Amino acid sequence: MKLILTGGFLGSGKTTAIQQACALLLKQNKKVAVITNDQGEELVDSKFIESFSIPVKEVINGCFCCNYNDLMQNIYYFSEQINPDIIFAESVGSCTDIVATIAKPLAEMHPELTVNISVFVDAALLYSLIKGTSSFIDGSVRYIFKKQMEEADILVLNKTDLLTDVELAEVQEVIKQDYASKKILLQNSLNEKDIQQWKDCFSNESKSQRKSLDIDYEIYGAGEAKLAWLDAVLSVQTEKIPAVKAAALLAEIIYEKINLQELTIGHLKFFIDDGNEQYKISYTTSHQHRQIIVNGISFKASVIVNARVQTEPEILQQILFQSIEETALKANCKIQVQSLSAFKPGFPKPTHRFA
């Protein structure tokens, strides 16, 4: 059984690539399973993966490193119930140090598992970091971004379609210099050929010796504490327009308000479900992905909101409430909050750390 630890910064494209790779592997008669992970409890990613009928389990309320035993339980569960060829485990986008806290403990305690570490990087975000135009991202957050890249067996330079050939060549140049020893892939995760290339790469790659990061936990912890998390489950009830339309309007209003306050978005994502159709809407630092909604017929929908933004939790909460009010007026609908939590991730305390 192969475990693909899929890391990389918030919004870099991990879930998209995992879903696409699962679709490809299923077509090739392979058995797959996915373990999602988050600091919170209500996960857009799990619902998204589930909506493609892919088996999914969660590790919630903290990263894999701090919940090693929960990760193991899910691996045992899948291995007993499904015996998959490949399990994808997607770590939280603000998490790093997985060689010392996951890969090495696994190598020692579970040598039967073959582990690959694929780290995703948003090419457009990396380009702006190289150009020095990303000063809006706090230094300690950039530290996490860089440490994540250092840990990769395979470094996936993702979203290459968002850059011109000249820009891409510049990014490639830098990355080849800084990460000469790594396998580097250029990828558009929405392109099946590129996903096949990633699959071939992690299928053939078998690295057993890895170096633990030289990492300063104070800076790592400070970086995570610069980000605020907001998770909410909402119900939307409309009278005249499809509920998914009102939900999409709410997403757009939240996004606009975050932008108006010039807050840096890690990832702002929504999962909208009206019982017939499901939609994911996603906003990141580099771009927005708004699915065009044409079908919705139901007047009721549920919405999961996952916002990871460089700000304070109270501010995110305020934005959510103001946006609900504005949407209710504009779309003539009723929006109720079923559950809500807004917080900062706690200081990382790994279960194991092998230096």
Residues near Mg ion, by CB under 5 A: 14-15, 45
Q: Are 234 and 302 in contact (CB under 8 A)?
A: yes
Q: Which does residue 11 touch among ligand GTP, Mg ion, none (CB within 5 to 8 A, set by kind)?
A: ligand GTP
Among 74, 282, 302, 327, binds ligand GTP (CB under 6 A): 282
DSSP state at residue 83: -
Question: Segment 259-278, which members bind ligand GTP (CB under 6 A)?
Answer: 267
Footprint (CB under 6 A) of ligand GTP, residues 105-124: 120
Our CB check for ligand GTP shows the closer of 5 and 333 to be 5
Q: At what angle do helices 313-331 and 243-260 cross, to 10 degrees?
A: 140
Partner whose binding site includes residue 289, from Mg ion, ligand GTP, none (CB under 5 to 8 Å by kind): ligand GTP
Q: Which is nearer to ligand GTP, 118 or 158 (CB)?
A: 158
Minimum CB distance to ligand GTP smaller for 180 or for 292: 292
Which residue's Cβ has the minimum distance to Mg ion?
15
Tell me how far apart the terminal alpha carbons of the chain are, to the nearest angstrom: 25
Q: Which residue has the tokens 């305690």?
A: 109
**SS3 breakdown of the chain: % helix, strand, coil, rounded to 5?**
40, 25, 35
Query: How many C-alpha atoms does 215 have within 13 Å on its Cβ side?
Result: 31
Q: Does 16 bind ligand GTP (CB under 6 A)?
A: yes
Burial of 277 (0-12, 13-18, 19+ CB in 10 A): middle
Place of tokens 């990382």: 348
C-alpha distances in Å from residue 238, one per residue of 38, 82, 262, 327: 31, 41, 31, 11
Letters for 152-191 (x = contact with ligand GTP by CB under 6 A, - = none) are: ------xx-xx-------------------------xxx-
**Considering only residues 5, 14, 129, 220, which one is a binding residue for ligand GTP as defined by CB under 6 A?**
14
Contact positions toward ligand GTP, by CB under 6 A?
Answer: 10-16, 45, 93, 120, 158-159, 161-162, 188-190, 267, 282, 284, 289
